[in-house]
Structure 1
């Protein structure tokens, strides 16, 4: 399959995943997180099995759709369950440490799987994917041992379901979370554009780093990223949420712009900035969102924020595939960087206007 075909499959499956994000979050809030996580692991396992053993684009697409459904089911339920469990234990103040440690551990596991996957690929080209679905199957077995937290889970009804959707979305638009929408949509969105699909490997290939070099690069960046994510509580304490997220936005936005130039091997610096600092975005926003919303709407609101952050990728996935195939990734990165920094600039201007309006009202 060509980059163009992969880009089309990626866009269709990712678009489907976006469509089911909020509905699956509402299911978790109404039916319970434990049941939803079990369903998520089962669906994702089946999807990965199909992607691994298919030999045409239709099997790849259907398997990807199943996997996206599983990931959507898990995205709101898993995080909400962790927070609700801490609430049961009266330890919710530790959530920031938990989410940063979990994200850091995830990066370390990713590094290990990249290294191990290289050896498996040398033995048999499908072996890494086979091990992928085997680990998901083990996760499914472990999911049955999860205990449901004593949160506000309601009896399912279609009326309650649609009410849950609207209320959960409304939570994200509340005054406390509204000012973070630019980071949920823009900052997390541009990192997903880089991290998901084919943009990351294609960009490194554009700078002269191929399969063997990429395995080393991703391993090193993963280790460094894990250190930064583990330090998230200290970083938040130093900069604060708004200033810190704006700083991340500037670093990542300008890195996209600089990618436009013919940097050769030095292009790795821009990739490293996006990869390392981008790893802090999701856990950072997760802490902000979780502490501001009640338990009964938590999974729905988290799924809504996930949906919003994935919208940019759905829009540009086909363009990314075409850019990778046509050798125009530098123009693609310039467009992404320009649009994102314009969004951040507009957000800053609006923030200052509101600040001046409040000052004038007090005079």
Structure 2
């Protein structure tokens, strides 16, 4: 009974962890900090953002292996402590190369907890025999993420206007320290049930990716994760210069970014409802189509009024995330969960590492509008092909003439 109560408290604590991990005053201002205070060009910002995702890829798989072999809890603690240190350093150093190095290390602080958190949540629910609630819990977890960013957007830009861009970034480290304290109180679920914990790291990785390939739809889902979650990167990097380019003052940029996070919260909380009614495959097709349409509208309508499209792009990413995570988790074993989830995160990082410099270079050479048009074609083509591949592989796996819909998560809409 005591263990059950401690496990149940994990879910509440993970919501709290997620909030403080992402309550960061730099959210609405970090691009402006680099361009306006540190003198970066937009191309430089986009290139280091691409390298940021490369840096994430370097640490992603080792962090997942460590989480599967040693525990999810220590990975969460280490990740947010690294984040606290590098965020403070990022707001303090004032020349290109120190900023460049701290930015790449910042990627480690963000990447290290990213597979361990969902693995801990899923295994907690599995041990409580509540796996069918994962989509709903994951949706709420993503909603908390967006609520934290919403709070940051509403407070970060006015705070930066009052005390300075650099100081606002420096004090963001405090919330990461609070998140580390929350993580220390988590109860590690029992997940070491397979043979993999006693294998070498190389053997572990080989067996993990062999397991991923054994499910015909898994490679398509891993790639799809990257394409349908890219909207978060786009709103994070290109929303600020879009607003600034249309004459929005520093103190107001957070307010105009806030509605995108409100829509993301709504999307995260309603994803399970729409997925259950449309079926997972049709739901993901609809999300991909709406995100692509948002890019196309931004490409042809060069007006401040087009900022509404960022709302729908961000909402699409937020809706896709819990559904794809659930589809992946149902196909993998507990003792490989964090490692394979790291592979999903790498697909996002790989796409973002190419996407950010591409849009940034096009924006400097031509305009953001041209970059958005090209981005829309990339998202439409990539997600469309991957979804088609997943549907065909599912049909083949089922051995029937129609499309096999994976079982939707049970439970009422949140």
Tell me whether the two structures share a fold, i.e. TM-score over 0.5: yes
2:179 to 130, 139, 145: 139
TM-score (norm 1): 0.88
Partner-residue secondary structure (3-state), 1:280: helix
2:169 aligned partner: 129
Separation in 2, partners of 1:172, 1:195: 31
1:282 to 321, 329, 336: 321
1:320 aligned partner: 359
Label 1:130 to 1:344 Cα distance change in 2 as closer, same or farther (>3 A). Answer: closer
Residues 216-235 of structure 1 show CA distances to partners (whole Å, capped at 9, x for unaligned) of 22212222321221122211
1:175 aligned partner: 216
Whether the 8 Å contact between 1:120 and 1:127 is mirrored in structure 2 is no
RMSD: 2.7
1:231 to 266, 270, 280: 270
Whether the 8 Å contact between 1:47 and 1:62 is mirrored in structure 2 is no
Measured after TM superposition, the shift of residue 207 of structure 1 is 5.3
2:45 aligned partner: 6
Whether the 8 Å contact between 2:298 and 2:372 is mirrored in structure 1 is yes
Residues 253-272 of structure 1: pairs in structure 2 closer than 5 A: 253-272=292-311
Residues 93-242 of structure 1: pairs in structure 2 closer than 5 A: 93-125=132-164, 126-152=166-192, 160-173=200-213, 174-189=215-230, 191-196=231-236, 198-206=237-245, 209=248, 211-242=250-281
- Does residue 308 (structure 1) correspond to residue 334 (structure 2)? The answer is no
Task: Name stretches of at least 5 consecutive residues in structure 2 with no aligned partner.
Answer: 1-39, 403-414
Whether the 8 Å contact between 1:201 and 1:214 is mirrored in structure 2 is yes
Partner-residue secondary structure (3-state), 1:77: helix
Measured after TM superposition, the shift of residue 331 of structure 1 is 1.5
Measured after TM superposition, the shift of residue 208 of structure 1 is 5.4
Residues 177-227 of structure 1 show CA distances to partners (whole Å, capped at 9, x for unaligned) of 2442452232224x244134x222223445555534432222122223212
Whether the 8 Å contact between 1:29 and 1:297 is mirrored in structure 2 is yes
Separation in 1, partners of 2:392, 2:126: 38
Partner-residue secondary structure (3-state), 2:91: helix
Separation in 2, partners of 1:351, 1:150: 32
Task: Name stretches of at least 5 consecutive residues in structure 1 with no aligned partner.
Answer: none
Label 1:37 to 1:227 Cα distance change in 2 as closer, same or farther (>3 A). Answer: same
TM-score (norm 2): 0.78
